[in-house]
Amino acid sequence: MDTHSAKDGTEKKTSIRTVATASAIGTTIEWYDFLIYATAASLVLNTLFFPTHDPLVGKLLSIGTIGVGFFARPLGAIICSHFGDRLGRRSMLILTLSSMGVATMLIGLLPTYESIGIAAPILLVVCRLIQGLAVGGEWGGAVLMVTEHAPPNKRGFYGSIVQIGFPLGMALGTASFFGLAYLSDEQFMAWGWRVPFLASALLVVVGTFIRMHIDETPEFKRNAREGKLVRFPVIDAIKNHPKDLLLGLGARITEISWIYVITIFGLSYAVTNLGISRNLVLGAIALGAAVELITIPLFGAISDRLGRRPVYMLGCVAAIALAFPIFWGIETRDPVTVILSFVIGMSVGHGIMYGVQASFLSEMFPSNLRYSGASLGYQLAAPIGGGLVPVAAAALVGLSAGSTWTVSLLMIAIAAVTMLAIYYAKETAPGVVAAKNANASQDKAMPLMKKVTH
């Protein structure tokens, strides 16, 4: 009997590890595709696809196209989460990865403005739109594949394994551009920038193959077996859980704003405004992403013990504390200080919150609405934090004669919104909730015990 139980436990643990690894690999590829666009937009797309007489206008237009992908993400979340809650998580993950791969490869093949005129930026925006739709549907499914397989008291840790796909994808994307450093500026502008986009084709084939060999989640299977699937899960999530959707948006807004201000605006500001070496900044971002491979799962695991809310609140405090020092460090132009600024900003200001996010948002919703609820809460913040905030940061610096203090104040204000959302959110970590309920039951029982004793 004991041997059989131990065997079952080992098989379950192995299964979780397999699913977590497969999900992390697929998410890494998805984020690689999505994020290399941001790097290219900061470095080269403004010149090739949006030529203007004013460099600032060209830069704003180029960074603005990054926002197209972010504005498409909620729509992708709505479409994919509807079918994810109706048909299953696995099929949506295969669809999102293949769609992303096609769009990314096409960007690498696009003619420039010089070749086909206005059609070039239009086609670029269409491809970016498809990228946004794909990544909008990706996150919810990838997270649920893991958290719905994981033991309840380890959802924070296993959910954070999926989250490391973001820094891994960023590190791969940044390294792909960093690896082109040996090219001259003319070679890089002519064809070098296309290589990371075209390399995506091979990665997507590998990722799709892996995802085809993982099983559907136990909770979705149970809902389907028991007839608990709803006809319009997105509508039900909006109608029955509006507060949780808003709290999810509020919780997400600082994390997404913080990482994209550092990696999109920060990259552009350091290279263009301060004249810092492009390779130095790309190397710093890649190193920051590598350190996040430690901080993200670390704080995901801590949230299983201490709760999601206190860990998330710690991330907000860190973001506020770093809002000014990060830019002061970059502005020194000292290589070591610049690298430390990017690394600390990413791994601490972003990593703490991102490590808790997968379990926190998914646990807010019942399993038959979870893809819809978690995806909407997560992706509704994308147009604001990832699309508008980096553009606003670039515009604020342009209007303030190159100063970043306005950007720091903006980030502090956004962090205050997240702190308010976390304050009103309920704790979702099963172990912490169970402990609190047990303590509350004991507190209620104490007066009765005293009466019996007397």
In-domain check, residue 267: yes
Count structural domains, the chain.
1
Distance CA 374, CA 80 (A): 12
In-domain check, residue 46: yes
Q: What's the pLDDT at 12?
A: 45
In-domain check, residue 155: yes
In-domain check, residue 445: no
What digits encode the pLDDT tens for the residues 247-292? 999 999 999 999 989 988 888 889 888 999 888 998 898 899 999 9
Which CATH number fits the domain that encloses residue 351?
1.20.1250.20
In-domain check, residue 29: yes
Q: How many other C-beta atoms can be found within 10 angstroms of the C-beta atom of residue 73?
A: 28
* 3-class SS string, the chain: CHHHHHHHHHHHHHHHHHHHHHHHHHHHHHHHHHHHHHHHHHHHHHHHHCCCCCHHHHHHHHHHHHHHHHHHHHHHHHHHHHHHHHHCHHHHHHHHHHHHHHHHHHHHHCCCHHHHCCHHHHHHHHHHHHHHHHHHHHHHHHHHHHHCCCCHHHHHHHHHHHHCHHHHHHHHHHHHHHCCCCCCHHHHHHCHHHHHHHHHHHHHHHHHHHHCCCCCCHHHHHHHHCCCCCCCHHHHHHHHCHHHHHHHHHHHHHHHHHHHHHHHHHHHHHHHHCCCCHHHHHHHHHHHHHHHHHHHHHHHHHHHHHCHHHHHHHHHHHHHHHCCHHHHHHHCCCHHHHHHHHHHHHHHHHHHHHHHHHHHHHCCCCHHHHHHHHHHHHHCCHHHHHHHHHHHHHHHHHHCCCCCHHHHHHHHHHHHHHHHHHHHCCCCCHHHHHHHHHHHHHHHHHHHHHHHHC
Q: Report the chain (454 residues): mean pLDDT per 10 consecutive residues.
A: 39 67 86 82 77 61 72 90 89 88 91 85 88 89 90 92 90 82 83 89 84 84 90 93 93 92 87 88 89 95 95 95 95 95 94 94 92 90 84 85 90 95 93 76 58 56
Q: Which domain holds residue 424?
A: 7-213+230-434
The answer, as to whether pTM is greater than 0.85, is no
In-domain check, residue 131: yes
In-domain check, residue 193: yes
What digits encode the pLDDT tens for the residues 15-26? 788 888 888 888
**365 phi, psi to nearest 5 deg:** -125, 150
CB contact at 8 A, 27 and 137: no
Distance CA 138, CA 389 (A): 22
In-domain check, residue 450: no
Nearest 5°: the CA angle 204, 209, 211 is 95
**Both structure tokens of 126:** 């269409």
